[in-house]
Amino acid sequence: MGEQGELLASATAGHRPFTSNQAAWAEQDPSDWWQACQDAIRSILETNKVPPSQISCIGLTGQMHGTVVLDGKGEVLRPAIIWCDQRGAEQAAELTEQLGFEHLLRLTCNPALTNFTLIKLLWLRRHQPQVWNRIQHLLLPKDYVRYCLTGEFAIDVAEASGTLLLDVARRRWSGEMLKEAAIPEQWLPNLFESPEVCARVSRRAAQLTGLLEGTPIVAGAGDQAAGAVGMGVTRPGTVNSIIGTSGVVFASSDRPVLDPKGRLHTFCHAIPDRWHLMGVTQAAGLSLRWFRDQLLGGTGEGWSYDRMNEEAATAPPGSDGLLWGPYLMGERTPHCDPEVRAGLVGIAAHHGRAHVLRAVMEGVAFSLRDSLTIFDELQVPVRRIRVGGGGARSPLWRQIQADVFGRPVETVQAEEGPAFGAALIAGVGAGIWPTVDDACDTVVRTLDRVDTRPEVAELMDQHYQRYRQVYPALRSLAGLVPQLSHV
């Protein structure tokens, strides 16, 4: 990114997807992230002819909640248990019983969810003591990449909010949570605000990537906070709706707003003295990808996302009554339920592939609307909605969101999402802009707007009321499915 916020070069490097050996388990090899990082950086420097000497600062972002454990030599002890893994339901329940639901909210602003880092640690302690006994350091995914780049153990307060070990209101590690969970404080990385320079590129990393030794790196932020910065969602009133692998509805706040029922996450924002509320759909874009890969034969059969969107658009709004409950990996908002499973409800003989594709897209939008419903309940202002992620590239999914939400939706010019936000945060660390707000005011621009169609919105509101009956029906079946448990 240039000093005026213009995009100068970008690169993408792939890595292996997560593995899932049991229902709702998900793991990745951290070395894959580091290798992909090296490949992408070298592509930027070599293919795009970017002189390393012109890089004034580096920003980092990445998937949240992943648990990377290292020994005393900094070696990874096991594959990372990542954000969507749900294996820790028993540990989450035990911690809630131990501390009490309300006390947990007072300590961390959040309930004990299986997605959070602490719950994964507690699972390791019980089921893999041979790993637990060797742990000396705990990192999250992007912070493991920082460690590889710099040799430093660091984390930002926005990312740390998702560990269940942070006093979110005071933006510091919670001594009481560490004591109650029996987690050694020395395992934890040093805390920083997102725009703070916290580390510099090491000699070894410089040799591997082509970066200059000593290049500064800011603390950065997890993908949702960084993505919100990239979309200009920094002040109260502007909300973003993101459809990536997961789905997120995100609102900024000048204070830590607490949902007394624990349905929303209250985290520190990537901006000092600001917080955000976040609702999460576990399987948003994942729902569409699962349907493509498992039931349509994947890209090998020519099923691109563009082709799926074209076919879904041939079905009518409301999918002739077909409903999708997107619970492939359990659910977070508003149900906080790792055990519920997905369902396609209301299938009739006349339904075809187009109906199912559209129903999947509408079901994800209904799930995101659940979070907006809670925002209204908590009197969180929603004056404009900006959409992002892979779902925002689909004209159909943008229109579905506008109709389901009953509000217009906007897109912004930047397509790089969290990476764009991480670059803005790095620009603040480099002194190009004085604050993150200034950076967003200078750089972020609205690209287009999709208006709600009143007659369709009325129909979708009726279907949303039906959709809200899908979860209780699926939940009633969850306990009837036999489970095999392996450690």
Nearest to 336 by CA among 64, 119, 23: 119
Q: How far apart are CA 217 and CA 200, in angstroms?
A: 6
DSSP per-residue letters across 376-423:
HHTT--EEEEEEESGGGG-HHHHHHHHHHHTS-EEEES--STHHHHHH
Q: What is the pLDDT of residues 21-52, one digit of tens each?
A: 787 789 999 999 999 999 999 999 998 888 99
pLDDT of the residue at 300: 83
Are 467 and 461 a contacting pair, CB within 8 Å? Answer: no
pLDDT of the residue at 487: 38
- Mean of pLDDT values over 462-475: 95
Alpha-carbon Rg for the chain, nearest whole angstrom, is 22
With vertex at residue 249, the alpha carbon angle to CA 29 and CA 292, rounded to the nearest 5 degrees, is 55
The one-letter code for the residue type at 101 is F
Q: What is the pLDDT of residues 119-142, one digit of tens each?
A: 999 999 999 999 999 999 999 999
Q: 223, 337, 370, 403: which one is catalytic?
A: 223
- Please confirm, yes or no, whether 223 is among the known catalytic residues: yes
Confidence of residue 88 (pLDDT cuts 50, 70, 90): very high
Are 64 and 159 a contacting pair, CB within 8 Å? Answer: yes
Helix-helix angle 305-312:353-377, to 10 degrees:
90
- For residue 76, count CB atoms less than 10 angstroms from its CB and return exposed for 0-12, middle for 13-18, buried for 19 or more: middle
pLDDT of the residue at 479: 61
Q: Domains, the chain, ranges and CATH? A: 27-220 (3.30.420.40), 223-478 (3.30.420.40)
CB atoms under 10 Å from CB of 207, counted, come to: 10
**pTM of the complete model:** 0.88
Nearest to 436 by CA among 271, 224, 262: 271
Torsion on CA atoms 425, 428, 434, 437, rounded to nearest 10: -10
Q: How far apart are CA 231 and CA 166, in angstroms?
A: 26
pLDDT of the residue at 22: 80
